[in-house]
Amino acid sequence: MFKERLTRALTTNRAETDPWSDDPRLIGRTYAIPFEAVWRSCLELVRERSGWRMLQSDDLAGFIRVRCTTRLFRQEDDLEIRIGLDEHGLTRVDLRSRARSRRVDLGTNARRVGRFAERLDKSLGAGEGKILDPRETARLTRRA
Q: Residues 67-88: what's their mean pLDDT?
A: 90
pLDDT, residue 52, reads 96
Is the pLDDT confidence value at 30 over 70?
yes
User: Taking all residues of the chain, what is their mean pLDDT, rounded to a whole number?
Assistant: 88
Section 84-88 average pLDDT: 92
- All structural domains of the chain, each given as residue ranges with its CATH number in brackets, are 2-135 (3.30.310.80)
The candidate with the shortest Cα–Cα distance to 114, out of 97, 92, 91, 90, is 97
**Res 115: pLDDT:** 96
CA–CA separation, 17 vs 27, rounded Å? 5
Number of helical (H) and strand (E) elements in the chain, helices listed first:
4, 7
Choice among 17-21, 30-34, 122-126 with the minimum mean pLDDT: 17-21
